[in-house]
């Protein structure tokens, strides 16, 4: 707690120019000394990272540095990988995600995830989105459910494109539409925290712009963590940026700072494109 | 004689390959253009030109030698001995001559027969030698011809590839033609059956008593060919088998793919598949000696009288036999659902059970259906277990604790023992076979369709 408040004041000192709301928001996620092992191989080393609410945090770093691994710690998706072991403390809303009393199903209901590759279920667009609300019992009636589906599509900016084929297979959409379908599917369960693992890596510039617009919109109500390989994207959409390298969190700070005067040489080399 | 010939031909083929290979290397070394094909292809080219014509010759020769020699033999018999004989008697005479020729002399054949047998042997020897000489000559001619054509520009590779694809087409044609042959013979015999018994009676009759007298004075029933009880028995047993096999197989598959550790899975999966390799006779024993008495005892304890042969015993054991068909194919289908589908579901906060029932099973459904239909066609075609455990008496019942019979069992009993090929009893087997063939064909087509649809899913 002491640590955290110190970080706060430091930030206040350092970046008077950063929009005040990003700094003032309480932390949605705090992680302390998080290490991840795949079998004997250690993929993350003692990560301490705090993620503010109602803002976008970008995770950048060269391929294989552990960005996806860190992201998967936050909704415990690493549980599904055999031989993967996570140590350290991760708190979402002040609650330890590894607490034995915590129901992982409930955690994942609060922490949505969008994957790098769009992965709609081989069901209709409607069913894809209705899946989450159904399993969490969010809709009391059929019309409730329809409303959730429509509003999720609307928020994901997909409604106008698919409104007359909502009962056709989601797999029949284009890649960009599929990705926005997955985003709609994730927000349909009303998560408080949305994890996006390179959501635009398979998209063209137009679809990317739409997704970024959506992220901007979503950050008003949600906490968003996005992994990206595009520096421009990180600069465009995020308020804070964390740079990972070889499993270590090298530097974290407001996006403006990281991109204009990084303190670490490695960060500087990476964002100026000298390696990675 | 024939085996020597084949040996010689194989040696010639080898020699042809070696010669072709060597010559191609020699040509390649001296010529100033690059060889179009590798030396190996030239070798194969020569080998093909040696082997294929000579083997085709041997095949055709063997096909025609018998009939031609027979025809010559009949022609050579003294007129007065042959005239007045009908076809049956003539066949008898010919086979007597042949058995004498083979050295099996019974009693005291007359001079005409002895002489004819002698002639028969002589002609066959001549024919064998002629074949030997001719085939070797063709092979040698092949070597000579092919050798000549080897040059730098000669496209041996293309020719060899053409020959290979021709061979493959021939092989698949053999399979297809065999199927057509089977269908044709089934159809032909069935039509003969339907000459004697009307289609309507066969397909709608409720009485199946095929034991009609085939010798004079034999005491049997009059014979009835209503196949409904047989079809009903088949369906009943298949149904019981599927009711046993489908849930067990499916749950086993779900357990193995989604719950079991990979170590456990790698041990259990092959073990389960061994079930499919047990001969059905052994399952039959198991049904008769273990399952049926057990069912009987349980029934008696509860105050029911259960027949020693029952559809239930046969169906249950058959179901066990079918478990690996369903579990193995369902396992493959579930395992091939991409991991990203599971991740997507778990990330939305779904439990394992929800993920399995709402995402995995629907996605894998076509593959699972394929397995179920394959198992169903196996169930319909299974004979041994039913003969041993369910009996051969056709009774129209849906009580699983009574003996019933199935199509395949009836085919077997109709065709074993005293048979005469123009008797409705025997012919009925073909009609049953036709029905069986058509129904499994339809099942297989449906299964194939479903599996095809399944393939398109994730591309
Ligand atoms: N399932 C796994 N089993 C074993 N090792 C893994 C597994 N997943 C990731 N790793 C290893 O962990 C390290 C971090 O991987 P991670 O996927 O988190 O990288 P990343 O930063 O997301 O890379 P990229 O930008 O390429 O997606 C890598 O060295 C990778 O090889
Ligand atoms: Mg990644």
The residue whose CA is least distant from atom 6 of ligand 1 is A38
The superfamily (CATH) of domain A3-120+187-271 is P-loop containing nucleotide triphosphate hydrolases (3.40.50.300)
- Give the model's confidence band at A18: pLDDT under 50 very low, under 70 low, under 90 confident, else very high: very low
pLDDT for position A84: 92
The answer to whether the Cβ–Cβ distance between B350 and A105 falls below 8 Å is yes
With contacts defined as CB-CB under 8 Å, which chain B residues touch A185? Answer: 344, 348
* Residue A228 to chain B, least CA–CA distance (Å): 19
Q: How remote is the CA of residue A225 from the centroid of ligand 2, in Å?
A: 13
* Residue A186 to chain B, least CA–CA distance (Å): 7
What's the longest Cα–Cα distance across chain B? 97
Q: How remote is the CA of residue A66 from the centroid of ligand 1, in Å?
A: 6
Residue B383: φ, ψ to 5°? -115, -50
Residue labelled with tokens 């500087």: A268
Task: Evaluate the CA torsion angle A241, A243, A249, A254 in order and state its sign.
Answer: negative
In this structure, which long-range contacts are made by residues B415-420, counting pairs with CB atoms below 8 Å and at least 24 apart in sequence? B418/B214, B418/B215, B420/B214
Arithmetic mean of pLDDT over chain A: 86
Q: Domain extents for chain A?
A: 3-120+187-271
pLDDT truncated to tens, each residue of chain B (459 aa)? 788 999 999 999 999 999 999 988 888 888 888 888 888 999 999 999 999 999 999 999 999 988 898 888 888 887 776 777 777 788 888 888 888 888 887 777 778 888 888 888 899 899 999 999 999 999 999 999 988 888 888 888 999 999 999 999 999 999 999 999 999 999 998 998 888 888 888 888 888 887 765 555 555 556 788 888 888 889 999 999 999 999 999 999 999 999 988 889 889 888 888 888 889 899 999 988 898 888 888 888 888 887 778 888 889 999 999 999 999 989 999 998 999 999 999 999 999 999 999 999 988 888 888 889 889 988 988 888 888 888 777 778 788 888 888 888 888 888 887 666 677 888 888 899 999 999 888 888 887 887 777 655 554
* Residue A196 to chain B, least CA–CA distance (Å): 11
Q: How remote is the CA of residue B189 from the centroid of ligand 1, in Å?
A: 67
The answer to whether the Cβ–Cβ distance between B351 and A105 falls below 8 Å is yes
* Residue A259 to chain B, least CA–CA distance (Å): 32
pLDDT for position B18: 93
Contact B423, B341 (CB under 8 A): no
Instruction: Tell me the residue length of chain B.
Output: 459
Neighbours of B453 (CB within 10 A): 12
Give all domains of chain B, ordered by start, each with its CATH number: 2-154 (no CATH), 224-458 (1.10.3720.10)
Looking at per-residue confidence, does A100 or A8 come out higher?
A100
With contacts defined as CB-CB under 8 Å, which chain A residues touch B342? Answer: 80
Is the predicted pLDDT of residue A21 greater than 60, yes or no?
no
| A177: its two tokens | 């539409």
- Residue B261's closest chain A neighbor by CA? A82
Helix/strand/coil (H, E, C) string of chain A? CHHHHHHHHHHHHHCCCCCHHHHHCCEEEEEEEEEEEECCEEEEEEEEEEEECCCEEEEECCCCCCHHHHHHHHCCHHHHCCCEEEEEEEEECCEECCCCCCCHHHHHHHEEEECCCCCCCCCEHHHHHHHHHHHHCCCCCHHHHHHHHHHHHHHCCCHHHHHHHCCCEHHHCCHHHHHHHHHHHHHCCCCCEEEEECCCCCCCHHHHHHHHHHHHHHCCCCEEEEECCCHHHHHHHCCEEEEEECCEEEEEEEHHHHHHCCCCHHHHHHHCCCCC
Q: How remote is the CA of residue A271 from the centroid of ligand 1, in Å?
A: 21
The residue whose CA is least distant from atom 12 of ligand 1 is A43
Which of A64, A117, A198, A248 is the best mutation target for the ligand 1 pocket, counting ligand atoms within 8 Å of the beta carbon and taking the most?
A: A64
Looking at per-residue confidence, does A56 or B84 come out higher?
A56
pLDDT for position B90: 81
Separation CA A72–CA A108 (nearest Å): 11
Task: Say which ligand is closest to the CA of A276.
Answer: 1
Ligand 1, atom nearest to A70 Cα: 18
If you count residue pairs, one on A and one on B, with CB atoms under 8 Å apart, how many are there? 68
List, in sequence order, the alpha helices (H) in B302-423.
Answer: 311-335, 339-347, 352-354, 361-381, 384-389, 407-415
pLDDT for position A5: 43
| Residue of B334, B348, B367 to mutate, testing the A interface (most A Cβ within 10 Å of its Cβ) | B348
The answer to whether the Cβ–Cβ distance between A108 and B349 falls below 8 Å is yes
Tell me which residues have their CB closer than 6 angstroms to ligand 1.
A 38, 43, 61, 63-69, 81
The answer to whether the Cβ–Cβ distance between A121 and B341 falls below 8 Å is yes
B172-to-B165, B169, B182, B194 alpha-carbon distances in Å = 11, 5, 16, 33
Task: Say which ligand is closest to the CA of A61.
Answer: 1
List, in sequence order, the alpha helices (H) in B211-261.
Answer: 228-254
The residue whose CA is least distant from atom 17 of ligand 1 is A68
pTM equals 0.74
pLDDT for position B217: 54
- Mean pLDDT calculated for residue range A36-52: 93
The answer to whether the Cβ–Cβ distance between B362 and A122 falls below 8 Å is yes
| pLDDT tens digits for range A174-191 | 888 898 899 999 999 999
pLDDT for position B249: 94
Q: How remote is the CA of residue A64 from the centroid of ligand 2, in Å?
A: 7
The answer to whether the Cβ–Cβ distance between B457 and A122 falls below 8 Å is yes
Looking at per-residue confidence, does A15 or B377 come out higher?
B377
Q: What is the ipTM of this complex?
A: 0.86
Separation CA A67–CA B221 (nearest Å): 83
């Amino acid at each position: 707690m002491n640590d955290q408040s110190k970080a706060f004041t430091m930030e206040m000192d350092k970046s008077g120019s950063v929009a005040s709301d990003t700094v003032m928001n309480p932390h949605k996620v705090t992680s302390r000394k998080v290490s991840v092992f795949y079998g004997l191989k250690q993929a993350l080393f003692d990560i301490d990272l705090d993620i503010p609410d109602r803002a976008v945090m970008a995770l950048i770093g060269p391929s294989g540095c552990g960005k996806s691994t860190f992201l998967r710690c936050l909704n415990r998706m690493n549980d599904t990988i055999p031989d993967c072991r996570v140590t350290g403390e991760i708190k979402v809303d002040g609650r330890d995600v590894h607490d034995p009393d915590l129901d992982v199903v409930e955690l994942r209901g609060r922490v949505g995830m969008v994957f790098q590759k769009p992965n709609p279920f081989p069901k209709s667009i409607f069913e894809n989105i209705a899946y989450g609300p159904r399993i969490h019992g969010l809709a009391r009636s059929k019309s409730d459910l329809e409303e959730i589906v429509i509003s999720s599509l609307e928020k994901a900016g997909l409604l106008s494109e698919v409104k007359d084929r909502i009962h056709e297979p989601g797999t029949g959409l284009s890649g960009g539409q599929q990705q926005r379908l997955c985003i709609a599917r994730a927000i349909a369960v009303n998560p408080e925290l949305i994890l996006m693992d390179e959501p635009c890596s398979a998209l063209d510039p137009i679809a990317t712009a739409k997704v970024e617009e959506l992220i901007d919109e979503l950050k008003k109500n949600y906490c968003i963590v996005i992994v990206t390989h595009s520096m421009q994207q990180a600069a465009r959409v995020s308020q804070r940026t964390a740079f990972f390298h070889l499993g270590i969190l090298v530097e974290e700070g407001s996006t403006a700072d990281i991109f204009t005067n990084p303190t670490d040489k490695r960060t500087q080399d990476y964002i100026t494109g000298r390696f990675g | 004689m024939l085996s020597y010939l084949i040996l010689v031909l194989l040696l010639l083929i080898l020699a042809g390959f070696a010669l072709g290979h060597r010559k191609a290397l020699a040509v390649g070394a001296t010529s100033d253009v690059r060889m179009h094909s590798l030396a190996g292809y030239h070798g194969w080219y020569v080998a093909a030109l040696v082997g294929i014509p000579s083997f085709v010759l041997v095949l055709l020769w063997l096909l025609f030698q018998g009939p031609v020699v027979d025809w010559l033999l009949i022609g050579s018999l003294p007129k007065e001995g042959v005239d007045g004989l009908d076809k049956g008697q003539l066949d008898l005479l010919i086979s007597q001559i042949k058995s004498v020729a083979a050295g099996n002399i019974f009693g005291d054949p007359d001079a005409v027969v002895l002489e004819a047998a002698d002639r028969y042997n002589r002609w066959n020897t001549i024919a064998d030698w002629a074949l030997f000489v001719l085939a070797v000559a063709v092979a040698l001619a092949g070597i000579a011809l092919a050798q000549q054509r080897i040059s730098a520009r000669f496209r041996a590779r293309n020719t060899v590839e053409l020959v290979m694809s021709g061979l493959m087409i021939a092989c698949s044609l053999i399979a297809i033609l065999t199927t057509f042959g089977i269908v044709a013979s089934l159809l032909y015999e069935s039509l003969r059956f339907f000459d004697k018994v009307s289609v309507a009676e066969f397909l709608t009759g409720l009485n199946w008593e095929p034991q009609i007298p085939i010798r004079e004075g034999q005491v049997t029933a009059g014979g009835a060919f209503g196949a409904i009880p047989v079809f009903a028995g088949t369906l009943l047993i298949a149904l019981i088998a599927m009711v046993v096999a489908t849930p067990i197989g499916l749950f086993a598959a779900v357990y193995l793919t989604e719950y079991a550790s990979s170590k456990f899975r790698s041990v259990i999966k092959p073990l389960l598949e061994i079930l499919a390799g047990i001969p059905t006779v052994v399952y039959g024993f198991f049904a008769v000696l273990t399952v049926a008495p057990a069912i009987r005892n349980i029934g008696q304890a509860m105050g029911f009288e259960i027949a020693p042969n029952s559809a239930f015993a046969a169906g249950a054991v058959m179901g066990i036999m079918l478990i690996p068909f369903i579990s193995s194919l369902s396992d493959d289908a579930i395992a091939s659902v991409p991991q990203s589908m599971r991740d997507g579901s778990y990330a939305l906060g779904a439990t394992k059970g929800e993920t399995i029932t709402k995402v995995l099973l629907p996605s894998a459904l076509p593959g699972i259906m394929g397995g179920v239909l394959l198992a169903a066609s196996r169930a319909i075609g299974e004979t041994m277990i039913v003969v041993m455990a369910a009996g051969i008496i056709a009774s129209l019942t849906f009580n699983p604790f009574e003996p019933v019979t199935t199509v395949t069992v009836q085919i077997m009993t109709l065709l074993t023992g005293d048979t005469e090929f123009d008797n409705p009893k025997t012919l009925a087997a073909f009609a049953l076979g036709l029905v069986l063939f058509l129904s499994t064909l339809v099942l297989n087509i449906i299964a194939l369709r479903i599996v095809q649809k399944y393939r398109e899913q994730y591309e």
